[in-house]
Amino acid sequence: MARRKRPNILVSWVSLQHHAAPLLTVLSHRESELRGRVDRVVLCHRQARGEDDEHEALQKTLAQLDEALPADARPQVEVRTWRTNARPTDHAAVLDFAKKVLRSLRDEHPDAALVLHLSPGTKAMHAAWLILAHGAFVPGPIRLLQTSEERHRRGQAPIEWVKLPTETWAHIVQSSAPTVSGEATDHALWEPARVESAAARRVLELVDRWAPMPAPILLIGERGTGKTTLAHTIRARSPFRTLDDKGWPVVVCGQFRANPQLARSELFGHKRGAFTGADADREGILERVNGDTLFLDEIADLDHGTQRLLIAAVEGRDFQRLGEPDRNRQAKFRLIAATNQPLSRLVMEQRDPPSNGADASPRVGIDADFYDRISTFILRIPPLRERREDLPLLWRSALTRAATSATGISPETLVAVARDKALSAALAEHPLPGNVRDLQRAAWWAIAALGAGASITVATREAIAALDPVDADDLPEATGTTPRQTALPIDLDAHLADEERAILDLALEAARGNKAKAAQLVGLPRKTFEYRLGRSGR
């Protein structure tokens, strides 16, 4: 499937002195690499009572753009007006406005590359662009450029790209991801500059406090609350990060339930011949993460014996590879563990092994001694029903991520779905037991509907219905799309009434008698559904 061309959006303050000249250098200079490649220009314009010079500069800028650029090569131009009494040198006020502009542009154009022009504007305006781009306050690709008057170039290129170091923790989080198969990381879950709920901000406060410490952290939260993403954030904000940021090992302990030996081989490594299939020496994950961070996900699924073996390694003491008892090895690492088990059921009871000498079955839970080693810090991850203020952000993020796999869906349509009042109300009222996974499922349903040509109303209705998926056992059997053969002549009205009654009955059965859900399944308002149901004699 062909992907959409990524649009370029040039964002700039209006220049009081040079008007359109800095913009034209980017848009039409023969040596500009953006010549003919900018799809939209967004002009930020300050409007203050009693000050006319900026309005006059805006009008001159627009006139010069119209005059200098032919209609078929002219990008769309829009003006974002800042109505304020704040001075143009007020850093805080400028930053607040600039942040709103960039975030709204990202919401409206999720796939666009934002290009920020640093030259026009006051020093406070320059600083705002630098802070927002370098601090990763706005997701997606952002580039910075500056231009100069031709008489000052002295052989330099007409535009100069501004490159800043990317060693801020936010860039580290966004540019790398843990190596765990199937994990759809959504960084919006834990972006400090974007989350608004008190519950999420409290978690991030604790992350700031604990990330620099070498002590283990245990993350406890429901499925879909972003534990892997938060572990990634903790690592990025800590000094325990020596491996290549393109990926770092994550151990999903659930894969070892049926094979504890595999867990020990993966974690500690093995010597050639240690077991059938061990054809060569192998380094374990503990050695690989020396100096870095180890993330053990689904820690309660790790078998009791492996937990006991890990105690020494977590404390920084010796461990051995499988089949190599005569050689001790060491690794210094920071441990982060995660579980969706409630704390009250996490620590398993100690039981004696079977008296007949048989191996005990793998125990689910955490050994008490092991728990003491991994729970120096315990961080409870709040579910989304405790983060209602963050739902608009997370819903937009889920929708944007799903939309990257589709074509032909306009940014305006995505914005309309993201801001739909009925859908927003449904999200706010729903318990969301799967948390972000519920949002992802709803987003896929909405995008699938839009991709098939459905209206925004139908797409949002499908997204709402997807929040409560029907059990597979309740789904009616699929029927073919070929019309069945019907003997003629027939009473068409009676035939259609029978068909309608059958469809309404199927919807009620699938929705387990819930008329509101049944109405959603057949695309009717509830009152209309009840009327038709009554008309059919039900």
User: Rounded distance, CA 93 to CA 130, Å?
Assistant: 15
Identify the CATH number of the domain in which residue 52 sits: 3.40.50.10770
356 domain residue, yes or no: no
Residue 244 confidence class, pLDDT cut points 50, 70, 90: low
User: Rounded distance, CA 302 to CA 362, Å?
Assistant: 8
Domain termination residue (choose one: 140, 162, 184): 162
Check whether 221 has a pLDDT greater than 50: yes
Question: Residue holding tokens 């050695």?
Answer: 287
What is the tens place of the pLDDT at every residue in 13-61? Answer: 999 999 999 999 999 988 888 988 999 999 999 998 888 888 999 999 9
The per-residue pLDDT for 352 is 41
Q: Where in the sequence is the domain holding 315, given as residue range(s)? A: 175-349+362-380
Verify that 318 and 273 share a domain, yes or no: yes
300 domain residue, yes or no: yes
What is the tens place of the pLDDT at every residue in 519-531? Answer: 777 778 887 877 7
Residue 241 confidence class, pLDDT cut points 50, 70, 90: confident
User: Rounded distance, CA 451 to CA 459, Å?
Assistant: 10
Verify that 457 and 395 share a domain, yes or no: yes
What is the tens place of the pLDDT at every residue in 410-450? Answer: 878 888 899 899 999 999 999 999 999 999 999 999 999 99
The per-residue pLDDT for 481 is 38
Check whether 189 has a pLDDT greater than 90: no
Check: CB of residue 364 under 8 Å from CB of residue 300.
yes
User: What is the 3 state secondary structure string of 305-348?
Assistant: HHHHHHHHHHCCCCECCECCCCCCECCCCEEEEEECCCHHHCEC
Residue 75 confidence class, pLDDT cut points 50, 70, 90: very high
Q: How far is CA 23 from the centre of its chain?
A: 33
Q: 457: burial class by Cβ within 10 Å (0-12, 13-18, 19+)?
A: middle
In which element (H, E) is residue 80 found? strand 76-83
Verify that 411 and 513 share a domain, yes or no: no
Verify that 48 and 83 share a domain, yes or no: yes
Average the pLDDT over 468-483 and give the result.
49
Average the pLDDT over 459-474 and give the result.
77
Verify that 206 and 97 share a domain, yes or no: no
User: Rounded distance, CA 459 to CA 439, Å?
Assistant: 14
Verify that 147 and 52 share a domain, yes or no: yes
Verify that 416 and 519 share a domain, yes or no: no
474 domain residue, yes or no: no
**Residue/partner pairs of 446-450 with CB below 8 Å, 24 or more apart:** 446/399, 446/402, 446/417, 447/399, 447/402, 447/403, 447/405, 447/406, 447/409, 450/406, 450/409, 450/413, 450/417
User: Rounded distance, CA 135 to CA 148, Å?
Assistant: 25
What is the tens place of the pLDDT at every residue in 278-328? Answer: 788 888 889 888 889 999 999 999 998 899 999 989 988 888 888 888 888
480 domain residue, yes or no: no
Question: Residue holding tokens 């070892």?
Answer: 256
User: Rounded distance, CA 1 to CA 348, Å?
Assistant: 50
Q: What's the first-to-final CA gap in the chain, in angstroms?
A: 47
Average pLDDT value over all residues in the chain:
82
Check whether 538 has a pLDDT greater than 70: no
Among 5-9, 18-22, 239-243, 406-410, the least confident range: 406-410
Verify that 374 and 395 share a domain, yes or no: no
Verify that 344 and 430 share a domain, yes or no: no
Identify the CATH number of the domain in which residue 504 sits: 1.10.10.60
134 domain residue, yes or no: yes
CA-based torsion, 76, 82, 88, 92: positive or negative:
negative
Quick one: tokens of 416?
Answer: 């309309």
Among 114-118, 215-219, 324-328, 330-334, the least confident range: 324-328
Q: Which of 57, 122, 116, 56 is nearest to 94 (CA)?
A: 122
Domain termination residue (choose one: 111, 141, 162): 162
Identify the CATH number of the domain in which residue 253 sits: 3.40.50.300
Verify that 327 and 196 share a domain, yes or no: yes
Among 111-125, 144-158, 275-289, the least confident range: 144-158
Specify the number of domains making up the chain. Answer: 4
Residue 330 confidence class, pLDDT cut points 50, 70, 90: confident
Residue 145 confidence class, pLDDT cut points 50, 70, 90: very high
Residue 183 confidence class, pLDDT cut points 50, 70, 90: very low
The per-residue pLDDT for 213 is 94
41 domain residue, yes or no: yes
Selected residue with higher pLDDT from 353 and 73: 73
Instruction: Please enumerate in sequence order all residues whose Cβ is within 8 A of that of 414, keeping only pairs 6 or more positions apart, or say none.
Output: 110, 399, 400, 403
Domain termination residue (choose one: 138, 162, 186): 162
Check whether 6 has a pLDDT greater than 70: yes
User: Rounded distance, CA 210 to CA 202, Å?
Assistant: 12
Verify that 464 and 521 share a domain, yes or no: no
Quick one: tokens of 118?
Answer: 């640093």
User: Rounded distance, CA 44 to CA 101, Å?
Assistant: 8
Among 123-132, 160-169, 464-473, 475-484, the least confident range: 475-484
Instruction: Please enumerate in sequence order all residues whose Cβ is within 8 A of that of 294, keeping only pairs 6 or more positions apart, or say none.
Output: 249, 251, 285, 286, 333, 334, 335, 336
Q: Which of 104, 181, 164 is nearest to 140 (CA)?
A: 104
Verify that 113 and 148 share a domain, yes or no: yes
What is the tens place of the pLDDT at every residue in 363-401? Answer: 557 889 999 999 999 999 999 999 999 999 999 989 988
169 domain residue, yes or no: no
Check whether 110 has a pLDDT greater than 80: no
216 domain residue, yes or no: yes
Quick one: tokens of 348?
Answer: 């398993």
User: Rounded distance, CA 506 to CA 500, Å?
Assistant: 10
Which of 126-130, 181-185, 242-246, 470-474 reaches the highest mean pLDDT? 126-130
Selected residue with higher pLDDT from 446 and 152: 446
